Amino acid sequence: MGTLLEYALIQVLHNFGALLVVGMSGYGFRVALLRQSPSRTLALFVLSAWLMQGLTGATFGWVTYRSDHRFPDIHGIAVIALMIKVSCVCGGAGLMATCLGWGSSWSASRRMMVWAGSTGLACLALTAAAFLRWFS
């Protein structure tokens, strides 16, 4: 019961994190499309949401390891889906970190590309989540 409750609570954070990366990246993309500059605060929130996805995702594996003394036994498509999710987190967090570091000097089209990139990676991770869920 304890472990199941832990999985459920991690899943709550992970699901809301997914909502935030998709929603806030999409909002930033819309702002950039209007040729305005999404705020640094928004970029900081999206960066935090990406990192939270990585952390809560890894916590799933850690809870399994702690209770079963082994990592989740996944193969094939599930492993590919997991690798895609990890890559999306690295890419999305990287994009937002560069945006925070150098975004103020970017052209409108560069801003658009970066926010489109974060939105696209968030959608890709959400798609991979469905495959991880049903092939593991």
Please identify which residue in 60, 77, 94, 113 interacts with ligand HEM, judged by CB under 6 A: 60
**8 Å CB contact between 85 and 58:** no
Query: Which strand (E) or helix (H) includes residue 55?
Result: helix 40-68
Residue 10 is a binding residue for ligand HEM (CB under 6 A): no
Amino acid at 112: M
Nearest to 76 by CA among 6, 19, 131: 131
Q: Which stretch binds ligand HEM (CB under 6 A): 23-31, 38-46, 98-106, 126-134?
A: 126-134
Residue 114 is a binding residue for ligand HEM (CB under 6 A): no
- What are the distances in angstroms from CA 43 to CA 7, 30, 33, 99, 118? 29, 13, 15, 7, 10
Measured from the CB of residue 130, what is the shortest distance to ligand HEM in angstroms?
6
Q: By the criterion CB under 6 A, which residues form the site for ligand HEM?
A: 14-15, 18, 21-22, 53-54, 57-58, 60, 85-86, 88-89, 122, 125-126, 129, 132-133, 136
